[in-house]
Structure 1
Amino acid sequence: MTDVRSHDPRAQIDALIREARQARERSDAAALAAAADAVLRINPREPRALVFKGDAFSAQGDHRSAMSFYGAALAQGRATAASPPDLRAELQHAAAAQAEGARRFEQGLRDGLARRGFDPATSSSRFAASLDLMTGKPLYCQQPKFYMFPGLPQIEFQPRETVAWLAEVEAAAPAIRAELDAILAEPALFAPYIEDRANRPRNDQAGLLGNDAWSAVFLWKDGVEVPEIAERCPQTMKALAAAPLCRIPGRSPSILFSKLQAGATIPPHHGLINTRLICHLPLVVPPDCWFRVGGEERRWKAGEAWAFDDTIEHEAANDSDQDRTILIFDVWKPEITAEEQDLIRALFATIDASGAAAPRLGV
């Protein structure tokens, strides 16, 4: 090994780094570790040496220790103002090794838990979420743009047993589809979902402002019935009679047929208030249409409804060559009591009476 006492520190480090690379090329883990240790005695934060130390542990099968050194190398690399090409290459190697280590760690966890009875489809959803966090997946939380009601569960798609009335809506899907077909026969009834409002600044919202790519026909809009449409859809309104519609005068519910054109996308976004759920009843659903809420992605299937929290990041896409159309409406979350519903209505009524700025709620 290089005699580190006979050179200035930078020259010593450069020589030892060359030795470490040569040792790695010939798969000599002991020599690799020795050269890395010698560099780290001179500069404990040298990112190349941290990568080499990680490689040495990895070659010995100690992946946990290797991951800690790769992580330290990447942290030091981010703190380096200008990275020379050889350092960038080592950091890319460390990032790839760390990603593979994380994949191996997660697979080992999931395999071991499966042998011990864990099934993500039927076991505790809270434990499943904790496992996602432990394995580095992002935590998606409610982020309402306007009104936050504390203490509500952070749930992406609402458990079906808590919205049992959805079965009645699904049972009416054929009748609702017949009413939708009559609406679809008049394309001029659809208008862009994101409207340009004269009394508000223009907000293009990823090119969707005034764009027919995402359009709607409203039966109710911002808490007000649209009679010329609602009267044409009596079976749709009848199907929603059992739903706990979120009634806030001047704001909700909104009930609409929502069309997403072939090839269109709705970018990730958050809703305004976290005291309600948004419900989807798919009606015209070609293949390759998907919807993501937080960390869970689903495919729409005709006649199969769901409810979700729109204050958790969500997005949609129609990757098919046909339009997708669904029924959308909003309901109170089951945790919101009758008293709390009244108080929330009183809150918005007070805002309206004061003239203070407050958004429409939309869906």
Structure 2
Amino acid sequence: MPTWIRESRPILDSWIDTNNVDPAAVSRIVDGMDLSEGREPADEVGRPQRPEILIPGLTAVPWWDDARLPWVRQLEAAWPEISAEFAAVRGVGSEYGVRHPNEHNLADAGRWTAYYFYMLGRTYDEHIAACPRTVEALADLDGVRDSGMCYFSVLSPHAHVTPHCGFINARIRCHLALVAPEGARMRVGTEIRPWREGRAVVFDDSFEHEVWNDTDRTRAVLLFDVWHPDLTDVEKALLAHMMPVWKSFLYRDEDL
């Protein structure tokens, strides 16, 4: 039973009290914590969606249809400038970037690096200054700064990221393909899709997903999270407060 969920509950209750929030307005999040405290995702192998915290009542689909996400086409329109900034700060032939924090436990082959812009409210000012058009293209998207992560994600040739699930279902994730060699692909749930340069795919990372780049070229995407579209504003505010708290408990023994 994950004790970190129980240990973080007083922080959640304090936020509700301090901000005079009606508990009914955030009952889905409280219920999700209560339900998740009694779960052990490692014992749920075979279930496609098994995050550490599972909030009830949110649309649960592995891949999201662009029709509900009007910002996808606007993002794709900015691809040439975003791709140029990626090449300027890194270039596919270099080793620029930092080791991805999950490389050691998820990448069983190859190298996985990241060039961060945001992580759970933390900003990487030098990177933001170096890529103004990329940051501008993301500025109006709901939750890029505080729902999760935003970075250039780079997989070396012949890399493999093993099956895993994101830790919460309160966000959805986008990949804008910057460098997409033919044969590189990703599975979310049971469906495998390739990347196409200049195109974006959106998925729910709380579903099991896996990535292969068994090619001789680097694969690179702009990866970022946005809030799940079903969340209310008050739920987002509470989650923005709790996400770094949960991460600090969940990875208290890891250097992230």
Give the TM-score normalised by the residue count of structure 1: 0.52
Distance 1:140 1:296, change over 3 A: farther
Could you tell me which of 149, 159, 171 is aligned with 2:55?
149
Q: Could you say which residue in structure 2 is the equivalent of 1:263?
A: 158
Shift of 1:148: 1.6
Check conservation: 1:262, 1:322, Cα contact below 8 A: yes
Q: Could you say which residue in structure 1 is the equivalent of 2:129?
A: 231
Aligned-partner SS, 2:105: coil
How far apart, CA to CA, are the structure 1 residues paired with 2:144 and 2:117? 15
Shift of 1:139: 7.1
Mapping 1:46-65, distance limit 5 Å: none
Mapping 1:183-222, distance limit 5 Å: 183-185=89-91, 187-194=94-101, 204-206=104-106, 213-222=111-120
Which structure's residues are more often helix, by fraction? 1
Mapping 1:1-363, distance limit 5 Å: 140-145=47-52, 147-185=53-91, 187-194=94-101, 204-206=104-106, 213-248=111-146, 252-348=147-243, 351=245, 357-359=249-251
Aligned-partner SS, 2:249: coil
Letter in 2 for 1:322: R
Shift of 1:212: 6.2
Q: How many residues get paired?
A: 207
Pairwise CA RMSD: 2.6
Shift of 1:338: 0.8
Distance 1:311 1:179, change over 3 A: same
Check conservation: 1:268, 1:315, Cα contact below 8 A: yes
How far apart, CA to CA, are the structure 2 residues paired with 1:256 and 1:172? 16
Shift of 1:207: 5.3
Shift of 1:191: 1.7
How far apart, CA to CA, are the structure 1 residues paired with 2:240 and 2:105? 28
Give the TM-score normalised by the residue count of structure 2: 0.73
- Determine which structure has more spread, i.e. the larger CA radius of gyration: 1
How far apart, CA to CA, are the structure 1 residues paired with 2:166 and 2:95? 27
Distance 1:207 1:310, change over 3 A: closer
Shift of 1:153: 2.0
Distance 1:215 1:348, change over 3 A: closer
Shift of 1:220: 1.9
Gaps of 5+ in 2: 1-44
Shift of 1:255: 1.4
How far apart, CA to CA, are the structure 1 residues paired with 2:229 and 2:78? 22
Aligned-partner SS, 1:268: strand
Shift of 1:346: 4.2
The CA deviation string for residues 269-324 of structure 1, in whole angstroms up to 9 with x for no partner, is 01011000111000111111101100111010001101111110000001211101
Shift of 1:189: 2.9
How far apart, CA to CA, are the structure 2 residues paired with 1:330 and 1:290? 19
Moved more, 314-323 or 239-248: 239-248
Letter in 2 for 1:269: H
Shift of 1:342: 1.7
Check conservation: 1:257, 1:326, Cα contact below 8 A: yes
Q: Could you say which residue in structure 2 is the equivalent of 1:50?
A: none
Check conservation: 1:192, 1:212, Cα contact below 8 A: no
Aligned-partner SS, 1:169: helix
Aligned-partner SS, 1:168: helix
Distance 1:356 1:245, change over 3 A: closer
The CA deviation string for residues 14-49 of structure 1, in whole angstroms up to 9 with x for no partner, is xxxxxxxxxxxxxxxxxxxxxxxxxxxxxxxxxxxx
Check conservation: 2:110, 2:160, Cα contact below 8 A: no
Distance 1:161 1:344, change over 3 A: same
How far apart, CA to CA, are the structure 2 residues paired with 1:256 and 1:297? 23
Q: Could you say which residue in structure 2 is the equivalent of 1:78?
A: none
